[in-house]
Amino acid sequence: MMPPVSYATGACKVFSLDYANMLESAPLFARAALTTLKISTAGIALALIIGLACAFLLYLRIPLAGRPVRAYIELSRNTPLLVQLFLLHFGLKVDAMPCSVAALAFLGGGYMAEALRGGLEAVERAQIESALSLGLSRWQTLCFVILPQALIVAVPALGANVIFLLKETSVVSVVAVTDIVAVAKDLISLYYETTEALIMLVLVYLVLLLPICLAIRHLERRVKHVAFGN
Amino acid sequence: MSKILSVTGLSKSFGEHRVLDDISFCLEERQVLTIIGASGCGKSTLLRMINGLETIDGGEIHFDGQTLGAHTDWRQVRAQIGMVFQSYELFNHLSVLDNVTLAPIRVQKKKRREAEELAAGLLARVGLADKVKAFPRQLSGGQKQRVAIARALAMQPRIMLFDEITASLDPEMSQEVCHTLLELAETRMTMIVVTHEMGFAQAIGDELIFLDEGRIVERGHPDDFFAAPQTERARRFLKRFEFHKGDRK
Amino acid sequence: MSPSAIDPTAISALGGLDVLLDANNLQRLAEGLLVTLKVAASSILIALALGIVIGLIALSRRRIVQVPYRLFLETVRIVPQIVWLFIVFFGLAKLFGWSWSGETSGILVFGLWGTAEMADLVRASVSSLPAHQTQSAQALGLSRMQIYRHVLVPQALRRLIPASINLATRIIKTTPLLVLITVVEVLKVGQQIIETRLLTTPAAAFWIYGFIFFIYFAICYPVSLSSRWLEERWNVGG
């Protein structure tokens, strides 16, 4: 499988990076990273809203809502983001940016709904009765008693979803969004700066993802302190 | 004395199973009513119906001049009828103080300061002045149950319902909670106490109801009931709590 | 309503349906799907085999095992898979002259990513078994082998199997990335068909991508369902 090649030249190429070139491409990557962040922030925020709405509809057993909501969750979780993007952009002619955000929200909504529903179901239903017996309204019970506890339970799953969606955003270049991957791909195919472009690609993603991963882990650890159990 | 709660001909079924059948009784203000009976006799269902947690199939409940039912504004009724559950059901994400102040702030729209002063007083009354800032997970079962009592009292209810509140506690903790209730009875709080503890039922009650298979089998003063139960079923029920050396064969 | 009120794009959208009814097109899509499935199946097999071995090794608490294991896991997970695909497909060719096909690169990347995830599932499913299970089995007088055979392995499998089926669907859902490294899989075939019809049937894209969307759903949904069914049957949470 491995074609015969001199390792010496390979090693040599590693050390003969064109640093000036990498520096030059930095602003391009920075702008692209901003685009990636914009899409993921908007997509994840919308996904959370959709997820919360779906989770509530299922948890409160709203009549007639169950089937469509479950169908949506299954559709979004069992199809790839890339195909969703193709369908939206080329099939339904949605512009690149709104289409990226919409596809991410469509995908993420299903995952967030499952995470939040899991959190809601983990709160004992008897807590509802005890809140009602104090005279709280149904809405107050949901807001002040059930939802906070559900969120605490759901934090690890929600955090995992956020990281998953951030990484999924890396495919939006297929609908001609100039994101990090698109910049790297251009540098590779147009200028043959393969090694430099790949190193920048990894670096930019590390700078983007590492702090967020660490922040989410920190949050998980803090939330663990608010342990449960009667 | 004035009548605050009256139940007439109340019945309830879950599917085929008739849980309550033709239950009638009255509760006067400042009176303590205890309800005893084997598990599954319908005691808890009765309390839950008074608090609107189960629908009423037949009969009527009158509270303070209004008939309770499907059209009742249960929020307003529940704000006046406190209930404490066997499994405490404290809100685990809130501190002890916040557990107690939640309803006064959200339902009665009290100022936080005012609610906290009230809560601190109540927590001191149930012997938990030092646990104000603690979270439920840091408390023992008995302490949790006393917080739950303070939480219900914070709404300054006209009636308190206690649903087997010592059933999941070990004897020592159960003692603490029973004493809290006895002290509450001293203050002439109107209450209905469902319990498994016979000694406690006798000590706290002004009147006692013995339920069996969803019906009231016997009622009267606790002292009379325990001294000389009138019915065969009550005698059989009370015998279960007696053990003799001869029982081991 | 006047005839002019009818949306002309609606007509052409329906008119595009014949793209899917063309036997030739369907056959080409099926061939593309076969490539997709080949990559997915190979990756899943690699992930299963290597993942189980590495996961069992990772049960050891020794530093010499834990440090490289954690490093492997975090390295694979930290960047999106498309970055790994680029590194393997473009990078290795440039650096070492290893110009592998897109398919091979895909199998390598998805296989190694699957391995890391699978290893973690194996490790987690065994190490999350409570210690009192072993203790109570010992108290019953079971031998070490018997404890594994009758107590630990069956319980670990009940956690592992649904989770690894789930991982398989995740690998399948990653395969469209292949289109970015020149593999002629189902999406690429779709693209080609659409290009030939660009002028005659503008709505072809809707039907073709809609069709591929449902193909993926038709593959992944039953697999997810089976995973959930097993999970519920064996009553393992989450």
Predicted confidence (pLDDT) per residue in B101-128, tens digit: 999 999 999 999 999 999 999 999 999 9
CA distance B98 to chain A (A): 11
Token representation of residue B90: 């404290």
CA distance C135 to chain A (A): 25
- pLDDT at position A109 is 97
The interface pTM score, or ipTM, of the predicted complex is 0.86
**A83 interaction partners in chain C (CB closer than 8 Å):** 176, 187, 209, 212-213, 216
Mean pLDDT of chain A: 87
Domains and CATH numbers, chain C: 10-233 (1.10.3720.10)
Chain A: residue whose CA lies nearest to C202 = A91
Q: Flag whether B176 is in a domain.
A: no
C146 vs C134, C149, C151, CA distance in Å?
10, 5, 8
- Residues B92, B94: Cα–Cα separation, whole Å: 6
- Residues A210, C66: Cα–Cα separation, whole Å: 21
Compute CA C153 distance to the chain's CA centroid, rounded to the nearest angstrom. 25
- pLDDT at position C4 is 44
**Half-sphere exposure in the Cβ direction for A194 (13 Å, CA):** 16
Ranges of residues in chain B with a pLDDT under 70 are 1, 248-249
- pLDDT at position A40 is 95
C164 vs A43, A168, C170, CA distance in Å?
28, 21, 10
**pLDDT level of residue A11 (50, 70, 90 thresholds):** very low
Token representation of residue C16: 């595009």
Report the alpha-carbon angle B125-B130-B133, nearest 5: 110
Q: Flag whether B117 is in a domain.
A: yes
Tens of pLDDT along chain C (238 residues) come to 444 444 545 445 456 777 777 778 888 999 999 999 999 999 999 999 999 999 999 988 899 999 999 999 999 998 899 999 999 999 888 888 888 899 999 999 999 999 999 999 999 998 888 778 888 888 888 888 888 888 888 888 988 999 999 999 999 999 999 999 888 889 999 988 888 877 777 788 888 999 999 999 999 999 999 999 998 888 754 3
Q: What is the mean pLDDT of residues A41-60?
A: 95
Q: Flag whether B111 is in a domain.
A: yes
- pLDDT at position B69 is 85
- pLDDT at position B241 is 79
Residue B74 sits at the chain A interface (C-beta within 8 Å): yes
Q: Flag whether B143 is in a domain.
A: yes
CA-nearest of B13, B40, B8, B28 to B211 is B40
Which CATH code is given to the segment(s) A21-225? Answer: 1.10.3720.10
Q: What is the mean pLDDT of residues A10-39?
A: 78
CA distance B92 to chain A (A): 7
Query: Total domain count for chain B?
Result: 1
**Half-sphere exposure in the Cβ direction for B50 (13 Å, CA):** 32
* A43 within 8 A of A108, measured Cβ to Cβ: yes
- pLDDT at position C43 is 96
- pLDDT at position B249 is 62
- pLDDT at position A230 is 35
* C60 within 8 A of C122, measured Cβ to Cβ: no
The residues with which B89 forms a beta bridge, in sequence order, are: none
Q: Which amino acid is at B191?
A: M
Q: Report chain A's C-alpha Rg in angstroms.
A: 23
3-class secondary structure for chain B?
CCEEEEEEEEEEEECCEEEEEEEEEEEECCCEEEEECCCCCCHHHHHHHHCCCCCCCEEEEEECCEEECCCCCHHHHHCCEEEECCCCCCCCCCCHHHHHHHHHHHCCCCCHHHHHHHHHHHHHHCCCHHHCCCCHHHCCHHHHHHHHHHHHHCCCCCEEEEECCCCCCCHHHHHHHHHHHHHHHHCCCCEEEECCCHHHHHHHCCEEEEEECCEEEEEECHHHHHHCCCCHHHHHHHHCCCCCHHHCC
Contacts of C29 (CB under 8 A, 6+ apart): C186, C189, C190, C193, C208, C211, C212
Higher pLDDT: A211 or C22? It is A211
Is B93 within 8 Å of A148 when comparing Cβ atoms? yes
- pLDDT at position A2 is 46
**A130 interaction partners in chain B (CB closer than 8 Å):** 83, 85, 89, 148
SS3 C128: coil
Q: Return the DSSP state at C113.
A: H
Chain A: residue whose CA lies nearest to B102 = A144
The answer, yes or no, to whether B and C have at least 3 beta-carbon pairs within 8 Å is no
**pLDDT level of residue A1 (50, 70, 90 thresholds):** very low
Q: Flag whether B105 is in a domain.
A: yes
Residue with tokens 């605050």: B4
> 128-157 in B: which are within 8 Å (CB) of A?
135-137, 141, 144, 148, 151-152, 155
Token representation of residue A152: 């605490």
- pLDDT at position B177 is 92
- The string over A52-67, giving b where at least 16 C-beta atoms fall within 10 Å of a residue's C-beta and e elsewhere, is bbbbbbbbeeeeeeee
CA-nearest of B163, B141, B89 to A127 is B89
The residues with which B28 forms a beta bridge, in sequence order, are: B3
> 35-64 in B: which are within 8 Å (CB) of A?
48, 51-53
Among residues of chain B, what percentage have pLDDT more than 90?
A: 67
Q: Flag whether B11 is in a domain.
A: no
Is B155 within 8 Å of A135 when comparing Cβ atoms? yes
Q: Flag whether B81 is in a domain.
A: no
Smallest Cβ–Cβ distance between A80 and the set C83, C96, C216 belongs to: C216
- pLDDT at position B147 is 95
Is A5 within 8 Å of C96 when comparing Cβ atoms? yes
Token representation of residue A32: 């692209």
- Residues B161, B34: Cα–Cα separation, whole Å: 10
**A122 interaction partners in chain B (CB closer than 8 Å):** none
Q: Which domain holds residue B116?
A: 94-156
* A113 within 8 A of A59, measured Cβ to Cβ: no
Q: Flag whether B109 is in a domain.
A: yes
- Residues A135, B74: Cα–Cα separation, whole Å: 8
Phi and psi dihedrals of B223, rounded to 5? -60, -45
